[in-house]
Structure 1
Amino acid sequence: MKRDYYEVLGVARTASEDELKKAYRRSAMKHHPDRNPGDAAAEAAFKECKEAYEVLSDGGKRRMYDQYGHAAFEHGMGGGNAGPGGFGGPDMGDIFGDIFGNIFGGGGGGRGGPRRGADIGYVLELDLREAVNGVEKRIEVPTLAGCDGCNGSGSEDGRIETCSTCNGRGQVRMQRGIFTMQQGCPHCGGRGQSIVNPCRTCHGAGRVEEEKVLSVKIPAGVDNGDRIRLSGEGEAGPAGSPPGDLYVEVRVRPHEIFQRDGDDLHCEVPIRISQAALGDVVRVPTLDGEAEIRIPAETQTGKVFRLRDQGVKSVRSRHPGDLYCKVVIETPVNLTAEQRTLLEQFEATFSGDGARRHSPKSSTFVDGVRSFWDRMTSP
């Protein structure tokens, strides 16, 4: 049984869009397959939180989920639209309107005519810089396109006659016990007409498999999970009916230096022990070049320095985020004989009780260990 989507993301049912997004990012980063290679449980959790966010971040889907729960996406009656794991959404008018409208005598519960083409999805991978600055990309999308041989009609010679199954209505009624249900005619696909001589290219379908090449403009500031809708670029509808839409989902590849958290960026800056002890000015990378941070004397490893407005200006923000630089003291390696001698002389200066004031954390730790053993050995 599927878990409640709000429970999956760990948010209340009244959660705002920002709260949903932050909860999704936390969960996705924790369970991402790149961080948990070979971990099937983490991969399943990642897919679960992604599915939950795709539903709850969409206003229409969220309203349907709040009203009907998981049943809203499990009927498989949404035409060409995918469920919560895909890019489209089920047509709830088709699911509930056709059934209940006919139970109470309403003859117009369903929509006549053929359905529009299916929505399709495409995952586009970007570098961090491309996502931050925006980019135009050419993509190749396999899809069903309108047949050129018959202009999407499915007819070789244009001869079309009224469907004998539905008498041109495009819909048929079915009796299921006490229920009367109305659905698209299976013979003519809801068109209300039959093709006399099917097109030899598409065999009457009006559509052929094709790889469509498109140019997609990615706005500056997009992030993982953001989607761009290209209206009318989905699958062609049957018999010339309207096409579906194409949804391009952005996936940002990990960066070698920066980690993104919303509008903020994080990075680690290695410094030498002498720089940490004496203080220094260090140049650090930014998305636009370089910046300087002033390292005070006696800086400890792990200290974080904030550079304002050096983060990301997302598509939803008016102002850029910040860059957080965490300094990490790096132990020197490949020492020369002179360097080793100097370090030995330096270490010798820490002997005696006076050394405690130079290493406050170390002294506190040693005192804690002594106190622990005293308690363990006392009668």
Structure 2
Amino acid sequence: MSTALHAHDETVDAPPAVRVVVIPDSFKGSASAVEAAEAMADGAREAYTDRGIPVSVDALPFADGGEGTLDALLGAWGTEPLTVDTTDALGRPTRARFGVSPDGATGVIEAAEANGLPGIADVPLQARTASSRGVGALVTALLDRGVAEILLCIGGSASTDGGTGMLSALGARFLASDGTELPDGGGRLGELASLDLDRLDPRAREVRWRVACDVTNPLVGPEGAAAVFGPQKGADPEDVRVLDTGLDRLADVLTETTGSDLRDVPGMGAAGGMPVTLTALLGAEVLPGSQMVAEVLGAEKLLARADLVLTGEGRFDSQSLGGKVVDAVRRLTPQNVPVVVIAGSVSVGRDELRRSGITAAFSIAQGPRTLDQMRDEAVPAITWTAFNCCRLLAHHPRQPAPGPDPATP
């Protein structure tokens, strides 16, 4: 698309234009959210222009706070990624990306850039010693740039240290009973006796923290960080027991320090328990990732003036309607505005589609294709599908589709 993303383009001398908003997630492995937004915008613009109908297209790459959120925000902001030297989850040198809004007020971090599983896939997983320390260097880089707000996306972590590594990098000290500082990782947290916050970077308490979290697991117990997510990070049953005990002890010490016990609060078990220290010590706000992204990008205001909304993702299924991008777009769009999903595959049934409030859903597959072919052809296929959808709707551009069937629960 020749125009900048989130820019407004309008056919001149032919008002009123049909307002189309394209607001997709990435098609993972095939097209980034930026590429998908460009492709949908191109298809929509061509369809209406072909029929001589004035059209205004707003393209807003979107994400749900997980993988791809950094790129989506940078694409919507029109800013370039920045990099900093840091360490991975095992303490090895690496470089990680972060982003800053055009006005310099908001910074965004994908924690997995510094403590993610993909970054340590070349060696055996080390559940007890994996640390979030590397994320602290990203935070410091943002603080040095003077941001007022940090958006932290925490999915995909390799660590189960309750965020202690990240806080240690910012100057906090997690001490054993003899006053020595504990080593990185969650394996020794059971020995935690006290916190020393005297050296904590004061700027970390001055900024606003928003943490994207799309799980409701508590910190500890059978549904906690170690039990549920530890095995995928290499934890065997004994590791799970040790890590869970350590997180429980961390919760005890945080309670003694702050007077607030967060161990059973939903979401505190995300990313190896990272939200618990951020919330207790830095006052972080933990919220669904799609909500955080929507607020930052002003999605609701943009959708409120749409005549048609195109959204999409790689696979549109029942999970898509439970807090992911498509669900967020559906909830933020006025009920009388049609919302069309364009996806790599569509597996939502008729009844579920009726109840969802989604007007229609289309797969980009053009005949029998292998998965590799679908990936290679994703961007032009997205454009083609958006073109076809909008060419049909262009016959009745001002007749919005109904919302959910009121007779259907």
The structure with the larger Rg is 1
Larger RCO: 1 or 2 (CA < 8 Å, sep 6+):
2
Measured against the shorter chain, the TM-score band is under 0.3
**TM-score normalized with structure 1 length:** 0.26
In terms of fraction of residues, the more helix-rich structure is 2
**TM-score normalized with structure 2 length:** 0.25
